[in-house]
Amino acid sequence: MKIKLNLVLIIVAIPMFLMGIAMTIYTSTILSYNGIDVNPASIHMARAAAAGILVLGIMAWLSRNSGPSQARNTLVVGLSLYFLLQAVNDARSIVAGITAPSSWISGVGLWLVFFILTALAGWSARSES
């Protein structure tokens, strides 16, 4: 079964956009849910991360209908690596006791699903030019 890249980009873009907005508005709530101390430094870092997530969601949305090209290949590889690194970093923070165990689902699980979807769809839709 071939996974359509434009569908995967839509599936990835919407939650990332919503996560970015939510992390910007409800920063303290999300930090405390994940077991992170709420202080000015953690709020600043979380909002900086939220901006990155929001921008990646917008990039995925805007590129959803792009045709095969090296630029699209690069975007998909970049998104895939971002998702994989986020999963690894979230797993590391859970094992180290930095974040709450609930992050196995809301963090690691979500990022791994996004990684698998973008990697598989990107591989099957890659441009040879």
Q: At what angle do helices 5-25 and 110-124 cross, to 10 degrees?
A: 150
Tell me the per-residue pLDDT of 19-37, one tens digit each, with 9 for 90 and over: 999 999 999 999 998 788 9
**Average of per-residue pLDDT across 43-68:** 94
Average the pLDDT over each of 6-10, 70-74, 117-121, 125-129 and give the range with the smallest value.
125-129
Chain-centre distance of CA 84, in angstroms?
9
For residue range 68-104, list pLDDT tens digits in order.
899 999 999 999 999 999 999 989 988 998 887 877 8
Question: Which residue is listed with tokens 């434009």?
Answer: 6
Residue 5 has φ and ψ, to the nearest 5°, of -65, -40
CB 121 within 8 A of CB 62: no
Going from the C-alpha of 83 to that of each of 18, 27, 28, 49, the distances in angstroms are 16, 21, 23, 13
Greater confidence (99 vs 62) lies with 62
What pLDDT is stored for residue 127 in this prediction? 66
Q: What is the pLDDT of residue 107?
A: 83
The domain ranges of the chain are 5-124
pTM metric for this prediction:
0.86
Greater pLDDT, 102 or 62: 62
In whole angstroms, how far apart are CA 75 and each of 43, 67, 83, 124?
A: 28, 12, 12, 14
